[in-house]
Amino acid sequence: MTCTAVSTRPGGLQGKCLVQNIERSSGGFTLHTSRGIVRAGVVLLATNGYTTRSLGRLSHHVLPVPSFLVATRELDENIVLDLIPGRRMIVETRQRHCYYRASPDGKRIIFGGRAALFKPSDAFYERQLRTLMGGIFPKLRGVELTHRWWGKTGFTFATLPHVGKLEGIWHAMGYCGNGNSMAPWLGYKVALQILDDPEGDTAFAQIPLPTRWYYNGHPWFMPLADLRFRLHDFVANLAR
C-alpha cells in the first residue's frame, strides 16, 4: 500500500511511499514509511484488500481476495456486439463467478474472475480464465489473449463495505468487488465524517464490521476455500 501525506506547505502531497507501521503518538499518529516518518492528527486507511497486519486490527476485518483479468486481441466489432449486445457489463451468479465486458473502444472482450483464491502462476490463472471464457463464449475458444493482470479486492465477513473508525483510525474499505462504484462515494462520506459534517452519515457506518476468531490478518484458509468453491461449481455443472 502507499502513503499519501498532505500538508498546507507546497509539495505536501507525497506518493509512492510504503507505510510500514502506524503508532499512536502525542496529538495523533506517527507513520513509519519507506521514505521517512510522517506525523498526522488524523489517519484514513483506504487500503481495502491491501490492508496488512502492520496497519493494525483493521486487517482482521478485511479479507484480501484476488481478482484476475485477461483481454483478447482486437476483434471485429460485430463479433463483440454479437457476444455482448449493448456492450453491457455482466456478472455471473455462480459461487466462483466471472465478470466480463467489451473494452471501451468495443474491440476486445475483457474477462475476469476468481481463477483462484490465492496467487498462482500467471500461466495457471490465464489458463483458468481461458477455459471459463471459452465455456461462456465458444466463439472465443483459442482466441489470442494479449493482456493479463491481477489485483486484490477486499471482502468483509458481512459481505458489505464499511466506513468509520477503529482504534482511532478512520477507514473506508471492504467493497466486496464493487469498489469502482462504491469507493468514490464512501470515500466522500468518510471525509465528511472526519470533518464532523452530518452529511457524512451513511448506513455503511452503522452495520457491523465483524471478524472471526481464526483470522488475524493472515488468510491461511483461502486455498481451502478455493477447493470448496471448485467442488461447488463442479457439482453444480453436473446437475445441469
H or E element at residue 136: helix 122-136
The reported pTM is: 0.85
70 located within any domain = yes
215 located within any domain = yes
Residues 58 and 71 grouped into a single domain = no
**From CA 158, how far away is CA 83, in angstroms rounded?**
34
Residues 50 and 93 grouped into a single domain = no
In terms of residue numbers, what domain contains 129?
A: 66-152
Q: What is the pLDDT along the chain (240 residues), one digit of tens a residue?
A: 455 555 445 456 777 888 999 999 888 999 999 988 888 999 999 999 999 999 999 999 999 999 999 999 999 999 999 999 988 899 887 776 789 999 999 999 999 987 788 888 889 999 999 999 999 999 999 999 999 999 999 999 999 999 999 999 999 999 998 888 899 999 999 999 999 999 999 999 999 999 999 999 999 999 888 888 888 877 877 766
Does residue 207 sit in helix, strand or coil?
coil
235 located within any domain = no
39 located within any domain = yes
Number of domains in the chain: 2
Query: Which backbone phi and psi does 28 adopt, to 5 degrees?
Result: 160, -125
Q: Where are the beta strands (DSSP E) in the chain?
A: 19-25, 28-33, 36-40, 44-45, 62-72, 90-91, 98-102, 109-113, 145-156, 162-166, 169-173
